[in-house]
Chains A and B, each alone.
Chain A
Amino acid sequence: MTILALSFASYLFALWKRPLLYLGLVLQVVYIFSRGAELGRLPLVGPHDTLIFLAASMAAFAAAFGFALKDRSRFLNAVTIVVAVFTAFAMTAKQHNSPLPPVLKTFWFELHVVLAFMSYALFGIAAVFGGVYLKDRQNSSEGLGYRAVLIGYCLFTLSMIFGGIWAYLAWGTYWIWTPKELWTSILWAYYSLYLHARLRPWWMGRPMAVLGIAGFAITMFTYLGVSLLMKSSHSF
Chain B
Amino acid sequence: MNILKQILNFLLSLRTTIWLLGISLVLLFAGAFIMPASEEFQLLHSTPLFEWIQNQPLQLTWWLWSLIGILAVLAVNTLFCSIESIISKRKVTHWLLLISPQIIHVGFLFILLAHLLSGIGASQGMTGAVEGSVIMLSGDDTELRVKEINMNYDSYGYLTDWDVSVEYLSAGDVLYRDMIKPNQPSTRMGFNINVKDLRPFPVEAVLLQINREPGALWALIGGILFTVGIVTLILLKIRMER
Which A residues lie at the B interface, using CB under 8 A?
98-99, 101-103, 105-106, 108, 150-151, 153-154, 157-158, 161, 164-166, 168-177, 179, 182-183, 185-186, 189-190, 192-193, 196-197, 199-200, 230-231
Contacts and interface: CB of A to CB of B under 8 A. Distances in A.
Interface residues of B, number: 52
A189 B25 contact: yes
A102 B161 contact: yes
Interface in B178-223: 182-185, 192-194, 196, 209-211, 213, 215-216, 219-220, 223
Contacts of B216: 168, 173-174
Contacts of B32: 179, 182-183, 186
CB-CB nearest 6 A-B residue pairs: A172-B211, A102-B182, A161-B223, A172-B192, A193-B21, A177-B44
Contacts, number: 115
Given A193-B22, A230-B36, A170 B183 contact: yes
Contact of A172 (B28, B41, B182, B193): B193
Contacts of A173: 118, 122, 124, 192, 211, 213, 216
A175 B184 CA distance: 17
A182 B31 contact: yes
A177 B14 contact: no
A232 B158 CA distance: 23
Contact residues of A: prevailing secondary structure: helix
Interface in B28-62: 28-29, 31-32, 35-36, 41, 44-45
B6 to A, nearest CB: 20
A185 B35 CA distance: 14
B159 interface: yes
Interface of B: 14-15, 17-18, 21-22, 24-25, 28-29, 31-32, 35-36, 41, 44-45, 114-115, 118, 122, 124, 154, 156, 158-162, 182-185, 192-194, 196, 209-211, 213, 215-216, 219-220, 223, 226-227, 230-231, 234, 237
A46 to B, nearest CB: 16
Contacts of B193: 172
The listed residue with most A CB atoms (<10 A of its CB), out of B28, B156, B185, is: B28
Nearest to B192: A172
Contacts of B226: 157, 161
A45 B196 CA distance: 20
B45 A102 contact: no
A150 B114 CA distance: 25
A196 B18 contact: yes
Contacts of A177: 35, 41, 44-45
Contacts of A158: 227
A103 B213 CA distance: 20
Contact of A101 (B36, B156, B159, B230): B159
B43 to A, nearest CB: 9
A164 B219 contact: yes
A105 B28 contact: no
B18 A103 contact: no
Given A102-B159, A105-B182, A108-B183, A193 B25 contact: yes
A47 B192 CA distance: 32
A102 to B, nearest CB: 4
B194 A172 contact: yes
A196 B14 contact: yes
Contact of A106 (B31, B154, B183, B211): B183
A151 B234 contact: yes
B21 A189 contact: yes
B231 to A, nearest CB: 7
Contact of A189 (B24, B154, B223, B227): B24
